Chain A
């Protein structure tokens, strides 16, 4: 599948950087010169115009305004974006499953409290929450108890995106658990004296696994879109690190003269997200045709 191919492509970034392009993703080469068609050309011309794409090892996709190799950045950026997308999905899944199962199983006041919390997070305009957290945490980093995370660490966007989407997954899971709870096999387990934890893990979880998987795939897709949006606005991945979102933001400055700097990273996002959506869709059709999954922003 396309997604796997893209992942492999991005993971190969260091290889490409070292052996083909001979430069790292953050290395500036503003005043360097490169052989283009036999002629020594500026990587960045005196008036600020960067080199365009061409068939060669270095600067395959041309350079950006800081003289960096776009192809190398694309691959490293992909690594970052996918990394964030997947890890955030892991966090969302863990939190959502916990909250959903607990709320659905125990009902009563636990359910009320958890549902209210979900409501509050749900009601928050997703992008605004992400930006607010992203901007403020980037300044000083995060300090919880003994754990300290630097402002420009990737964990900040990962945590934010992970938390923001929890209600989208937790609510359907809760709904399913509520329904499953009434079924006979759960009653039987309770009658047999199994503790709640065992019931949740052994009886409930296997039945919601399909939902979880489908949601996770689509969650990764949403996460990548959100990460790119946050990075574009300046509240996600911090410079000079590349992510597809920051590359679009950088490229947007020169969209009239070097449109490929904007188009290419965007296309990568589209392809990756598309392949995930197709995958998730197909999976859902196969497993549970009635589930409604909502796209994020």
Chain B
């Protein structure tokens, strides 16, 4: 009767309408590496487990973001496009030469190369650098803290001034003069970060430009963004102007198009690269696929060294970790080999702050182990009254496993440990908020922002930097003598002697067992068959260099 017909009609209409919506939508594609849709052979398909945080040179602060942006926006200075140590050398980018630094170390003079254009044809001007720095402050970039030393920067940030008095840029001659409050040995490094890449003033000064990135100065330009699903990079037709102006250290692209897609399933990515539907995956293969990839695809897979340190922080200010013996006991008890297995064999064991590859690194082993007996003995000596500990970690699979291991270890040592697993996105701000209760110990890692030891010591161990929020000194370490040393070393340049002193600083902190470091993670290169495996390389700062992508 009519009821049924009505019901079926409703059902039918719903289905048709819904299909209509379905068919209408979806012009923004999420290509699963289907070669039919990839077009001609020179389109490279890249997948990332996490999409770049921002597609904006002044704002991006993750490895994924820097990988995309390094070859898209060129700062005044840049880093050599080579693997290993040579890649950590600062070289001229859009500037003619390395900066002329005044004897008192407070003034930097650079000259912009002439006749360069952005990808949309607008000329690159010296004042664009000033504009970029202004954006750092107005758009609330996390990177702005590196440039606060510039005279007048904080006034500008607080709206007390319209300009940054410490930067003088002359568009006619291309001269740029930067004046600092005090000498800063890391400043050349910091000038080489994409934070300081010039952008045209058409870019909104105080807003994230992800959905409509500014025109680029590098070999690639970003032609389309559909965050956080995909973005497309294509050759920058105006890059020639930069090359012609003499920027020889900025390498050119070898492919026409790169399509970057997010895929949260690491295993699916591995399968994709194996089956050549994906050309390159940014993250290393998960532990359980690693041996398979190593065994069967060694002709297009290799492990790479990366500059990072994985460690457990321990709150030096509260019991039980305020006793150095307890901290040392943990250092004795931890088994880096066990943690290495949790990572699928990719952790290089370590027991110090600085990682290999960082200037100033000098290998030493202060707490040979794992030595549970020694640990228990030290604990017996210290005999802490407070045995309740909260262990923190984040919810990425390998981090979670590490947390569970550490939790079990602490229980075995006689503590009463409780594990708190926090979502990866809020983990660091949670433990970085000193008002969070029960911040006893937990997981942390640190990847270098730039190759200078100060990048490790200052945010992570300097007593001045125990911030109420966004703290990175999770152990809340404050050793005055070391702080003074750190400040002293930064005013100079990174000489041989300075490197040695940084090494001593590392030892000094480990004597106090401020952390329980255990590993440096290795990354990997895994590409499809058609990629030229020998040309692709892993850069110590910016991960894989997209200008090294080429087909065979």
Contact = CB atoms under 8 A, between A and B. Distances in A.
Nearest to B406: A28
A219 B106 CA distance: 72
B420 A152 contact: yes
Contacts of B125: none
Interface stretch (A46-54, A111-119, A193-201): A46-54
A234 interface: yes
Question: Considering residues A30, A48, A258, which has the most beta carbons from chain B within 10 angstroms of its beta carbon?
Answer: A48
A238 interface: yes
B408 A28 contact: yes
B404 interface: yes
B267 A47 contact: no
B521 interface: no
A258 B288 contact: yes
B405 A257 contact: no
B419 A239 contact: yes
Interface residues of B, number: 37
A44 interface: yes
A255 to B, nearest CB: 7
A28 B291 contact: no
B408 A256 contact: no
Question: Considering residues B267, B335, B412, which has the most beta carbons from chain A within 10 angstroms of its beta carbon?
Answer: B267
Contacts of B342: 30, 44, 48, 65-66
Given A31-B337, A47-B341, A152-B419, A240 B408 contact: yes
Contacts of A48: 287-288, 290-291, 341-345
A65 B401 contact: yes
B345 A47 contact: yes
Nearest to A254: B288
B289 interface: yes
B341 A139 contact: no
A139 B430 CA distance: 10
Given A66-B405, A240-B407, A256 B419 contact: no
B404 A253 contact: no
Contacts of A45: 341
A173 B289 CA distance: 52
Given A238-B419, A253-B397, A47 B404 contact: no
B420 A47 contact: no
Contacts of A151: 420
Contacts of A27: 408, 412
Interface string B326-369: 00000000010110111111000000000000000000000000
Nearest to B422: A139
Contacts of A238: 419-421
Interface in B275-301: 286-292, 294
A26 B343 CA distance: 19
Contacts of B412: 27
A249 to B, nearest CB: 9
User: Binding site of B, secondary structure by majority: helix, strand, loop or mixed?
Assistant: helix
Interface residues of A, number: 29
A31 B397 CA distance: 19
A152 B341 CA distance: 27
A66 B335 CA distance: 13
Contact of A46 (B341, B405, B419): B341
B423 interface: yes
Contacts of A139: 422, 430
Contacts of B294: 47
A98 interface: no
A255 B267 contact: yes
User: Binding site of A, secondary structure by majority: helix, strand, loop or mixed?
Assistant: loop
Contacts of A31: 335, 337-338, 341
Contacts of A255: 267
A66 B342 CA distance: 7
Contact of A240 (B337, B344, B404, B423): B404
B340 A46 contact: yes
A230 to B, nearest CB: 14
B189 interface: no
B421 A239 contact: yes
A224 B395 CA distance: 23
A211 interface: no
A46 B338 contact: no
A135 interface: yes
B409 interface: yes
Question: Considering residues B288, B335, B342, B418, which has the most beta carbons from chain A within 10 angstroms of its beta carbon?
Answer: B288
A256 B289 CA distance: 8
A223 B407 CA distance: 29
A65 B286 CA distance: 12
B422 A47 contact: no
B143 interface: no
Question: Considering residues B292, B341, B395, B405, which has the most beta carbons from chain A within 10 angstroms of its beta carbon?
Answer: B341
A30 B419 contact: no
Interface string A15-51: 0000000000011101100000000000011111100
A81 B345 CA distance: 33
A28 B405 contact: yes
Nearest to A240: B404
B498 to A, nearest CB: 38
A40 B187 CA distance: 55
Given A48-B343, A66-B401, A253-B397, A26 B291 contact: no
B403 interface: yes
Interface string B421-455: 11100000010000000000000000000000000
Nearest to A238: B421
Contacts of B422: 139
B376 interface: no
A234 B408 contact: no
Contact of A239 (B287, B288, B403): B403
A270 B123 CA distance: 66
B404 A49 contact: no
A227 to B, nearest CB: 17
Interface in B369-404: 395, 397, 400-401, 403-404
A256 B267 contact: yes
Given A30-B338, A30-B342, A48-B345, A253 B421 contact: no
A26 B345 contact: no
B17 to A, nearest CB: 21
B67 to A, nearest CB: 24
Nearest to B289: A256
Contacts of B335: 30-31
Contacts of B430: 139
Contact of A49 (B288, B337, B420): B288
Contacts of B286: 253
Given A151-B420, A234-B395, A239 B341 contact: no
Contacts of B289: 256-257
B405 A30 contact: yes
Contacts of A152: 418-420
Given A26-B407, A30-B405, A257-B292, 18 more contacts: A26-B404, A28-B338, A31-B337, A44-B341, A44-B342, A45-B341, A47-B344, A47-B345, A48-B290, A139-B430, A152-B418, A234-B423, A240-B407, A253-B288, A253-B397, A254-B288, A256-B267, A258-B288
Shortest beta-carbon contacts, A-B, top 6:
A48-B344, A30-B338, A48-B287, A254-B288, A240-B404, A257-B288
19 contacts: A26-B404, A26-B407, A27-B408, A28-B338, A28-B408, A28-B409, A30-B342, A44-B338, A47-B291, A47-B345, A49-B291, A66-B342, A139-B430, A234-B421, A239-B421, A240-B408, A253-B286, A257-B288, A257-B292
